[in-house]
Amino acid sequence: MALYIVPTPVGNLGDITRRAIDILSRVDFIIAEDSRYSQKLLNHLQIKKKIISHYRPREESQAGKIIALLAGQDGALITDSGTPAISDPGFILVGRAIDAGIEVIPLPGPTAFIPALVASGIDPQRFLFLGFPPRRPNDMQRLFKSLAPLPYTLVFYESPRRVESFLRNAATALGGRPFAMAKELSKKHEKIVRGRLDEWRAALQGEAVLGEIVMIIAGQIGPAHPEPAPRLQSIEDIYAYFLERHGLRKNELKNIFMKKKDKNAFHGSGDGH
């Protein structure tokens, strides 16, 4: 039998595809993130089906039961909105289905970050989708710093309650790059706010930040400013440099350096690279 992955509208119910309606009508049961939310969609479509809940943090325990059902029946995996497994439950179940030899059939359809990206005005040719960022400011700051040198457009989901923290930390780590905030896509109050990270307060002035949020940030443009060459005048300087920058252990470095026949090669003139 088969597991169908069925995207559902992110807001406007008119975005559901005919094929999605057909599959939801034909399968034996539906696997939903929130049965109460999904029941509203099924009522709108006039579809009556058995709904099985599949939500975090019980994905592991629920997956086994669902796989047992899929051995003899067809099921459709849906989420509250958008495409299942994209920052939503589904990945574990899909993996279990593949391992069990169950056919997995994905349907194309709605997802929030693609419309936001293509309408942002920021390069959509190469991008990284990173889902929800860490909640703690320090963790968020570390993430942004690690992404700073990359040339790819950065795409995030974010809670409206954390938008200001997100933009403040992004501006600190990434400077004045262009950004776009898409809110309430396909809904009545849909809007895309565009600006620069170093001017995010002005960009958001007077805006009601509500609903589902997609954040788009431009990647690094051109070569990053090179750091000056480190002054490595002793073996201890080299140890310190690699320990700090590359996470190597001192014993590992010693093993590498001691294999060199000419140890004096590591006592240079100060122009080390």
Contact 110, 10 (CB under 8 A): yes
Q: Which two tokens stand for residue 222?
A: 């051109």
pLDDT exceeds 60 at position 256: no
Give the residue from 29, 77, 82 showing the smallest Cα distance to 51: 29
* Side chain identity, residue 207: E
Question: Residue 226 CB: number of other CB atoms within 10 A?
Answer: 6
pLDDT given at position 6: 98
pLDDT given at position 262: 45
Please tell me which residue, 81 or 224, carries the higher pLDDT value: 81
Q: Which two tokens stand for residue 9?
A: 């509208």
Same fold, 2-106 and 125-217: no
Q: pLDDT tens-digit profile of 118-141? A: 999 999 999 999 999 999 999 999
Mean pLDDT score across all residues of the chain = 87
Residues whose CB falls within 8 Å of the CB of residue 177, separated by 6 or more in sequence, listed in order: 196, 197, 217, 218, 219, 221
Give the residue from 126, 90, 119, 123 showing the smallest Cα distance to 186: 119
pTM, rounded to two decimals: 0.78
pLDDT class of 57 with cuts at 50, 70, 90:
confident
What would the CATH number be for the domain defined by 2-106? Answer: 3.40.1010.10
Question: What DSSP character marks residue 230?
Answer: P
Question: What DSSP character marks residue 192?
Answer: E
Query: For 158, phi and psi rounded to 5 degrees?
Result: -150, 150
Query: For 264, phi and psi rounded to 5 degrees?
Result: -65, -15
Contact 109, 119 (CB under 8 A): no
Average of per-residue pLDDT across 37-53 = 94
pLDDT exceeds 80 at position 114: yes
Q: Which two tokens stand for residue 201?
A: 């307060």
Architecture of domain 125-217: 2-Layer Sandwich (3.30)
Domain boundaries, the chain: 2-106, 125-217, 227-273
Q: pLDDT tens-digit profile of 194-246? A: 999 999 999 999 999 988 999 999 999 865 555 565 666 776 776 666 666 55
